[in-house]
Homo-oligomer: A and B are copies of this chain.
Amino acid sequence: MAQRLIVIGGDAAGMAAASQARRRRDRGDLEIVAFERGHYTSYSACGIPYWISGLVPERDELIARDPMTFRESFDIDVRLRHEVTSIDLDRREVVARDLDRGGEVRERFDTLMYAAGAVPVRPEWARTGAGGVFGIQTLDDGAALRDWLEAEPPPRRAVVIGGGYIGVEMAEAMIQRGLSVTLVEQSEQPMSTVDPDMAELVSGAMRALGVTIRTGLTVTGLQERDGRVSAVVTADGPIPADVVVLGLGVRPNTALAAAAGLPLGPVGGIRVDRRMRVPGVPDVWAGGDCVECLHRVSGLPVHVPLGTHANKQGRVAGINIGGGYATFAGVIGTAVTKVCDLEVGRTGLRERDAAAAGFDFVSVIAESTNRAGYYPGARPMTVKLIAEKPSGRLLGAQIVGWSEAAKRIDTLAVALWNGMTVDDMTALDLGYAPPYAPVWDPVLIAARRAVDALAATGR
């Protein structure tokens, strides 16, 4: 008799695991049932801001693989609009509620893949039920926001709360739709995923785009009129709003897992081993935005909810469930984003992370250009490096620039991944031609600067 794999969560990690398991074990050997609470499988949540802005015209473009494909090509029993409400590890079964038709189903499993994703952070004040307040986590969230923006009369004033990636991207999307936009950030600066000196460049670009940035400001509530949001209340007074977008971050969706007794780690995600197995719980695997994983530089557990990790982790789990061998090697915190034409990349530790992890370090900033200075379209590029003292080992890097800047972070990410020192990095053989780089690539210039800074400390 076939064994049975139950997958909880039909997005990147869950469906990657299911597909990989299927590649190695056919239906006669392994039945696969995937429960997904929403209306879609495997879509690009990261693409939602571009759908809202209109840059991506159709919602369906964000869907990588639809349920039909999984059913027909992978023989995976995908059940949409089914929310798993309990896991019984002893009886090896789950209970799921049919959200559309009501009622419950109970399904046994031999193997469980927990990939329930993340839930958006929602303070008490955000739970008013007032119209015009939106998170941006699911395609349904996006659809609701688009409908609101297209109603008559259209909203004019948007307030985005939270200046992380989603907040910044959504502020830009709202500007592109013609709204006046205020970004409210609790800390000193938006885009705190990079150090303040680099984040200031991003703030400048957002202001140039027309975004009003209010920093150091805590939101305490929402005002509403006739069931619709009318203002965001802050310590500094109300900010009028016809639409409010919440970009307050997410946390691992672990309620169900915790209730079932799966172990959580120090940063609140499900604990997994290198193979994405939940330690101490036989035949239970997890991956994606619900787990925490190892930061290779700090050595500490981190929660980094990104589609790229979810896909890798799901693939690793699926290969292992399928009888193969794969491990997830951890993350180094690489991320890229875009604010109008300003590109931002980061990898490794920021200064504050390096200090918190106990490293002694130098940091340098090098100004350069993306192309040879004389080549048309040459634009400024700022590269920041953080290097351990006295070893010179690269600990982190950040890039802000106007064109072909963001993905240059990958060059630094691979150097960091391999534990290179900035000394060794000055020797790297990187591509040079006038349309692509000055004769000393910005990465090399920054590495040289870091070597000089280390020398100046006497090491």
A residues near B, CB below 8 A? 12, 44, 46-47, 50, 55-56, 61-62, 64, 165, 306-309, 311-312, 327-338, 343, 345, 347, 372-376, 404, 406-411, 413-415, 417-418, 420, 424, 426-437, 439-441, 443
Contact = CB atoms under 8 A, between A and B. Distances in A.
Contacts of A433: 46, 165, 335-338, 406
Given A429-B334, A430-B308, A372 B44 contact: yes
Contact of A430 (B334, B375, B426): B334
B374 A62 contact: yes
A434 B44 contact: yes
B47 A375 contact: yes
Contact of A308 (B56, B328, B330, B432): B432
A297 to B, nearest CB: 10
Given A376-B55, A439-B44, A430 B413 contact: yes
B443 A410 contact: yes
Given A62-B374, A311-B439, 19 more contacts: A44-B374, A44-B439, A46-B433, A306-B432, A308-B429, A308-B432, A329-B427, A334-B429, A334-B432, A335-B432, A336-B437, A338-B436, A404-B407, A406-B435, A408-B410, A410-B428, A410-B441, A410-B443, A411-B413
Contact of A432 (B46, B64, B330, B414): B46
B335 A431 contact: yes
Given A44-B374, A372-B44, A415-B414, A407 B429 contact: no
A431 B334 contact: yes
A306 to B, nearest CB: 6
Contact of A338 (B406, B427, B435, B439): B435
A404 B436 CA distance: 9
List the 8 closest A-B pairs by CB distance, nearest first. Answer: A336-B431, A61-B374, A329-B427, A308-B432, A418-B418, A414-B414, A410-B411, A334-B429
A435 B311 CA distance: 18
Given A12-B439, A44-B372, A431 B414 contact: no
A149 to B, nearest CB: 20
A413 B427 CA distance: 12
A439 B408 contact: no
A374 B431 contact: no
Contacts of A328: 427
Contacts of A64: 439
A373 B65 CA distance: 13
A332 B47 CA distance: 37
Given A47-B372, A55-B375, A376-B56, A307 B432 contact: yes
Most buried by B among A309, A331, A432: A432
Contact of A408 (B55, B407, B432): B407
A418 B409 CA distance: 17
Nearest to A433: B336
A56 B336 CA distance: 31
A132 to B, nearest CB: 26
A439 B55 contact: no
28 contacts: A44-B374, A46-B434, A47-B374, A50-B434, A56-B374, A56-B375, A56-B376, A64-B439, A165-B433, A308-B430, A328-B427, A329-B427, A333-B429, A334-B430, A334-B432, A337-B433, A343-B436, A347-B429, A406-B436, A410-B410, A410-B411, A410-B430, A410-B441, A411-B413, A411-B414, A414-B414, A414-B428, A414-B430
Contact of A439 (B308, B413, B418): B308
Nearest to A409: B431
Contact of A336 (B337, B338, B417, B432): B432
A273 to B, nearest CB: 15
A413 B425 CA distance: 12
B439 A307 contact: yes
A375 B409 CA distance: 20
Contact of A431 (B44, B312, B410, B435): B410
A459 to B, nearest CB: 13
Nearest to A308: B432
A331 B431 CA distance: 11
